[in-house]
Amino acid sequence: MTFTNLKARVRDGAGRPIVAATTPTVPKTRSREESQPKTQHARAWNVVVHNDAVNLMSYVTYVFQRVFGYARDKAERHMMEVHEKGRSILWTGDLEPAESYVKKLQAALLLTTLERVE
């Protein structure tokens, strides 16, 4: 840490000297995380909904529309994929939004998991 101009001499309106202590300046260093691009460490995550015997197809479609903002046709396609294949990948992207989607879907009582894209 270095101090720049510890005692700066300044004069007031009457010409009297004013001694002001300045704040220390700290050299700015970049952390290891900041120096490397995020794209090297970023991995994609899949939000996957699995089939269950509890929820109605119309309810699952409704939840997909509300959580993801999907149009009815797209929500129904994903619902049918869950029904016929046992699972559907609804969204792929960064970890934080993926976790948020999983929590919202689980709060709606849908069987949902988060999977890393290989």
Region 12-23: what's the mean pLDDT?
Answer: 61
45-50, strands of its sheet edge to edge = 87-93, 45-50, 112-116
Check: CB of residue 49 under 8 Å from CB of residue 105: yes
Could you please state the CATH topology (level 3) that the domain comprising 39-116 is classified under: Ribosomal Protein L30; Chain: A, (3.30.1390)
Q: What is the pLDDT of residue 40?
A: 46
pLDDT of amino acid 26: 57
Cα separation, 66 vs 75, in Å, equals 10
Residue ranges of E strands in the chain: 7-11, 17-21, 45-50, 87-93, 112-116
Enumerate the domain spans of the chain.
Answer: 39-116
For the segment 104-115, the average pLDDT, to the nearest whole number, is: 98
pLDDT tens digits for range 36-88: 555 445 789 999 999 999 999 999 999 999 999 999 999 999 999 999 999 99
Express as a percent the part of the chain with pLDDT over 70.
66
Q: Is the pTM of this model over 0.85?
A: no
Question: Which residue did the predictor score with more confidence, 118 or 106?
Answer: 106
Report CA torsion sign: 101, 103, 109, 113.
positive
- Between CA 47 and CA 82 the distance in angstroms is 13
Quote the CA–CA distance of 35 and 51 in Å, as a whole number: 43
